[in-house]
């Protein structure tokens, strides 16, 4: 859901290089912290979870241009560290087929990684007393809201600080553009909210299903 | 995004480029990509595009597949270009060309080099855990995709998927994914036991990797360097 579909050459090198640097620092910390035995045991499932993310992204939900990402579900299944590694792998594979630029892998991993960290934290530490459906839905929705906000922030920073794209605002068109911009913003906002609802519902339904059949799969 | 189709082209392609070393192709793609990223003139970006088209013709890449993959970056770059096209049509065009060209360099790479070879080369840079995850992702993708397609087919046959009924689609797809996760979990446990029996200790062996396979690899690398240098140096005639 919160995936930056920006191709290469749009964001300034300062932003995408910083994205890579922060991502590599997080990867280093995760690998350093991970206990070798338990980490090694979970590598096959991490790869499989990443493959599931790729498959879910290739199934359209019908007439609307929305697909699932399952990043939060991966976090619930694997925990935040391995979830982040899975997201990084997915982004590399997606970039190789032209879905998001290769220079954007770092930034994309950070945006979706935020979703992974927050949903995992909320699901495992904060909302533990709620029912499985509402617990999952809230964890996923709140994580998505934060990651979408981060995505918007990156957009604003990128274009506000003069990325690759020159931005000019003319004051004489300002007022008439204001109404137009509000309309566009409302449309975009409703699409995003609908996307968050869809991802939240789908993840909740999936978690409810396997919490009945195989509750041991959910990461403690 | 048809990863299985892309994989088929890169593995079964028999052009001279397909038979060249993966390292040379990665270096070529990186130089072309950098050329697109750092070029600020439309002529130079177009020149890089022509070089990639020639490379694609030599590689005998199906044009339909390459174009199909390019629609995605083309669409999203057009969205950004539209924001500034009134102010500067040239800047708008440059954004589209740069973004599409950069994506094309990666698409050319993935259509001429199998994923496995790319992952092996990445193992020189990335920690083994990440490379292993990439390998397991690749390995399980095709198994799960087949399962997913079979279940989707039976759901469609029973009327469980309708283009306009999003809620019904969502419920059914969620059910499929839930089922796939259980299958996957059991598959990963089996996979780990089998790999442990074979001596897996947290690092899949990559085998002896030849960085440069022959003279044609040097030609590919030189072509990449020449293209990059050509677009970066400010020529004045």
Quote the minimal CA–CA distance from A146 to chain B in Å.
23
What does the block give as tokens for B190?
């089996």
Question: What is the pTM (predicted TM-score) of this model?
Answer: 0.82
Of residues B1, B174, B201, nearest to A97 (C-beta): B1
Quote the minimal CA–CA distance from B163 to chain A in Å.
5
How many angstroms separate the CA atoms of A83 and A70, rounded? 10
Quote the minimal CA–CA distance from A205 to chain B in Å.
6
| Contact assessment for residue A82 and residue A60, using Cβ atoms and an 8 Å cutoff | no
| Contact assessment for residue B92 and residue B42, using Cβ atoms and an 8 Å cutoff | no
Q: What is the pLDDT of residue B192?
A: 75
Alpha carbon of residue B133 to chain centroid: 17
Burial of B211 (0-12, 13-18, 19+ CB in 10 A): exposed
Lowest mean pLDDT among A108-112, A141-145, B40-44, B144-148: B144-148
% of chain B at pLDDT higher than 90 = 11
Burial of B228 (0-12, 13-18, 19+ CB in 10 A): buried
Strand locations in B29-118 (E)? none
% of chain A at pLDDT higher than 90 = 10
Contacts with A, B 95-134, CB within 8 Å:
95, 98-100, 102-104, 106-107, 109-110, 115, 118, 127, 129-130, 132-134
Beta bridge partners of A67: A60
Of residues B106, B148, B195, nearest to A95 (C-beta): B106
Q: Would you call A62 and B1 a contact, using CB atoms and an 8 Å cutoff? A: no
The mean pLDDT of chain B is 82
Residue to mutate among B8, B129, B135, B139, with most A CBs inside 10 A, is B129
Residue A39 or A60, more confident: A39
For A110-150, how does the pLDDT look when each residue is reduced to its tens digit (9 = 90+)?
A: 988 998 999 989 988 887 788 888 888 999 999 988 988 88
The mean pLDDT of chain A is 78
For A1, the 3-state DSSP assignment is coil
Q: Would you call A56 and B177 a contact, using CB atoms and an 8 Å cutoff? A: yes
Q: Would you call B170 and A205 a contact, using CB atoms and an 8 Å cutoff? A: yes
């Amino acid at each position: 859901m919160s995936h930056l579909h920006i191709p290469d050459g749009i964001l300034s090198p300062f932003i995408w290089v910083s994205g890579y640097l922060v991502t590599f620092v997080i990867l280093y910390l995760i690998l350093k912290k991970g206990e070798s035995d338990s980490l090694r045991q979970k590598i096959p499932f991490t790869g499989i979870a990443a493959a599931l993310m790729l498959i879910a992204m290739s199934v359209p939900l019908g007439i609307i241009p929305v697909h699932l990402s399952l990043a939060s579900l991966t976090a619930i299944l694997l925990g935040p560290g391995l979830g982040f590694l899975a997201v990084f792998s997915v982004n590399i594979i997606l970039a190789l087929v032209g879905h998001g630029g290769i220079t954007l892998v770092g930034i994309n991993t950070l945006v979706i990684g935020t979703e992974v960290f927050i949903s995992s934290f909320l699901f495992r530490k904060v909302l533990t007393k709620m029912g499985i459906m509402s617990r999952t839905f809230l964890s996923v929705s709140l994580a998505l809201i934060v990651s979408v906000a981060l995505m918007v922030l990156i957009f604003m920073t990128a274009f506000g600080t003069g990325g690759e794209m020159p931005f000019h605002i003319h004051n004489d068109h300002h007022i008439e553009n204001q109404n137009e911009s509000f309309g566009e913003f409302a449309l975009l906002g409703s699409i995003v909210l609908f996307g968050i609802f869809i991802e939240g519902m789908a993840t909740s339904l999936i978690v409810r299903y396997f919490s009945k059949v195989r509750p041991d799969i959910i990461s403690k | 995004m048809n990863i299985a189709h892309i994989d088929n082209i890169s593995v079964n392609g028999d052009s001279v480029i397909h038979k060249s070393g993966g390292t040379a192709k990665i270096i070529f793609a990186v130089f072309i990509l950098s050329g697109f990223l750092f070029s600020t003139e439309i002529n130079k970006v177009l020149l890089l595009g022509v070089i990639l088209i020639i490379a694609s013709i030599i590689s005998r890449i199906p044009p339909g597949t390459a174009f199909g993959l390019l629609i995605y970056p083309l669409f999203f770059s057009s969205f950004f270009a539209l924001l500034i096209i009134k102010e500067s049509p040239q800047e708008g065009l440059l954004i589209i060309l740069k973004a599409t060209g950069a994506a094309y360099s990666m698409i050319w790479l993935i259509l001429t080099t199998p994923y496995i070879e790319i992952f092996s080369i990445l193992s020189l840079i990335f920690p083994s855990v990440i490379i292993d995850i990439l390998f397991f992702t690749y390995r399980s993708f095709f198994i799960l995709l087949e399962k997913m397609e079979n279940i989707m087919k039976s759901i469609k046959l029973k009327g469980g998927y309708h283009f306009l009924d999003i809620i019904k689609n969502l419920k059914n797809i969620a059910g499929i994914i839930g089922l796939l996760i259980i299958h996957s979990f059991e598959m990963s446990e089996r996979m780990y036991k089998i790999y442990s029996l074979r001596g897996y200790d947290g690092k899949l062996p990559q085998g002896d990797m030849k960085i440069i396979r022959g003279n044609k690899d040097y030609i590919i690398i030189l072509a990449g360097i020449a293209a990059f240098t050509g677009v970066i140096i400010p020529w004045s005639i």
